[in-house]
Chain A
């Protein structure tokens, strides 16, 4: 227990831990994001993530965006456990045939108004897995996609910046 307190005091604010420059960036664009979310969504934007066949790198970067360095949550973005709590659906990976039904059900379970974001190169049109016998052509043909965040995988900063550009 003492250790934890000691750490807590010694460490201070860890968002400045690795790169002071980076932290400044994050905070500057983060406050933009926060004011946009205040304006458009009242208080916060709740996102439900669904992996429809991704390799896991996109998930890793979304988790990173929530780590103490970037800490997306402090700007008003929450990743929620249930589609019932979500404003937006975030889809990663090519669309595997096996995930089609689960994806449709997840979307149907979300209350309106709702919108869909795709993240990562494979999510828009299958990317490198496009010609496979087991991937559906595109999410766009099944759900209305409002925003696509490119990258393989997009870094946490890219994700944050793309969200700002979209909300503006």
Chain B
């Protein structure tokens, strides 16, 4: 047993803890397996001692090989720089497990997902409405992520029941799924009393395409193309998490040069998206001049991306084993030159925003997400940092970011202004980091493509611009993917938006929404 420390820490909280299996399978991945009866208490203990929200909770159908389902729960420990994956087996007959949702809120949505996709019952979860398989179009009793699922059968019945707020003078305002702007589809149900919002329920899933099922049975190269199309504005972060998982399974070390190049592209992705959101926030309060400037910055970065990688959205850069795009001296100079102009424009943009009293008045104290709420909901990434939670994979996990002395941006107030400030600080930090990485890039090996196909499972993780993007991958001995679980930060953070808007007026909703800027497609999968 090579992980006694964490086990003794769990025992302090949960004395009967006795794992069936425990091993450090990769330097950054600890696996524990427990009896189903101990699963819940172990989760609660880990949640408390690390402390970590549930980063992922998902099922795997292993009925064909082992007559069981497996449930995995992923926690992160920044102190040990480790991911802890706790699993249990449940029998295939009448599959069920004891719900965690009442003890750990961040389990709630994942349990609903397990129920709708696998038909495994989380006993005691107070809310089992379906998320992505809408009742109006998908018949009951069809579980698409089960291996023996072929085609949906039966008649469609029932409809989604929204939470209702009743009372004198309470109105419901339904919005969507088709919105006024050029944006993804989602339905928002506001309950208002007078002007302030007293409840917001977001019904998502409109862009559900069955992505996780599509991964199954594919080899890495085809699956990588799919990973790039999960969330279009984070295609690099998604492809990076996917390839990391694949590389861990194949046990190939990525060349150092590739790690620097990947970091450069990851930061470029962050920069264009942050510029876009800063512009979006000013546009949503009707301040169009800085929005135009921000759009120019975004376009400049997209064009830089295209010159570097032949893709404006950095598709086709990653491959399992490294990168396919080189950064030579000419490209380095191009990046430096472009970044100089971009940074200059950006500092003007920030100056304009800061000097506008009416803009500041709109963002200050609007859409507050308190730290306690954020912790309870399991909010991750940028939104968590704006609410005072110091969480960033780049900061805690070893790698090129630690070499470059990455500085994490954290704000305390949790309002739109805090999220704006974190974005501004991260944009500037990204530009600095790119400079650092470019200095380190030298001609050399950038990929190892001779990928050995083997059986295994691993977690890939990247701090994308919204937050951590996780890919848990399981392959068979032929290297075909058996299960791919994707967690986009949006999946956690949509709930944060629903709490942040409370007490605000509906006209401020676009601003609050943009300050989070969550992905529909990354959430709906």
User: Which residues of B approach A to under 8 Å, CB–CB?
Assistant: 132-134, 136-138, 144, 149, 151-152, 177-178, 180-185, 205-211, 213-214, 225-226, 229-233, 235, 276, 289, 292-293, 295-296, 298-300, 302-303, 306, 312-313, 315, 348, 351-352, 355, 519-521, 524
Contacts and interface: CB of A to CB of B under 8 A. Distances in A.
The listed residue with most B CB atoms (<10 A of its CB), out of A4, A8, A55, A96, is A55
A142 interface: no
A14 to B, nearest CB: 6
A102 B178 CA distance: 7
Contacts of A122: 229
B183 A59 contact: yes
A56 interface: yes
Interface residues of A, number: 54
Contact of B206 (A98, A129, A131): A98
Contacts of A64: 295, 298-299, 302
Given A3-B352, A98-B208, A133-B152, A49 B229 contact: no
B214 A129 contact: yes
A4 B303 CA distance: 26
The listed residue with most A CB atoms (<10 A of its CB), out of B151, B180, B207, B231, is B207
Given A4-B352, A18-B300, A53-B208, A97 B295 contact: no
Nearest to B279: A67
Contacts of B214: 128-129, 131-132
A55 B214 CA distance: 15
B519 A67 contact: no
Nearest to B150: A133
A58 B184 CA distance: 10
A50 B183 CA distance: 8
18 contacts: A3-B352, A8-B289, A19-B303, A51-B185, A51-B207, A53-B208, A54-B184, A55-B229, A59-B232, A60-B276, A60-B313, A67-B295, A97-B134, A98-B134, A98-B137, A99-B206, A101-B136, A134-B210
Contacts of B226: 128
B112 to A, nearest CB: 16
Contacts, number: 161
Contacts of A108: none
Given A7-B352, A102-B206, A128-B229, 5 more contacts: A53-B521, A54-B184, A56-B520, A67-B295, A69-B295
A83 to B, nearest CB: 8
A122 B185 CA distance: 16
A102 B292 contact: no
Nearest to A105: B178
Contacts of A60: 232-233, 276, 313
A56 B209 contact: no
B312 to A, nearest CB: 6
A102 B213 contact: no
A77 interface: no
A152 interface: yes
A3 B299 contact: no
Interface in A65-110: 67-69, 79, 81-83, 93-94, 96-102, 106
Contacts of A56: 184, 231-233, 519-521
Contacts of B276: 60
Leading 6 A-B pairs by shortest Cβ distance: A57-B232, A81-B180, A55-B232, A56-B232, A67-B295, A132-B210
Nearest to B338: A18
Contacts of A124: none
Nearest to B230: A55
B232 A63 contact: no
Contacts of A61: 312
Contact of B144 (A18, A55, A93, A134): A134
Interface string A1-37: 1011001100000100111001000000000000000
A129 B210 contact: yes
B182 A79 contact: yes
A8 B293 CA distance: 10
B218 to A, nearest CB: 11
A135 B210 contact: yes
Contacts of A62: 182
A129 to B, nearest CB: 5
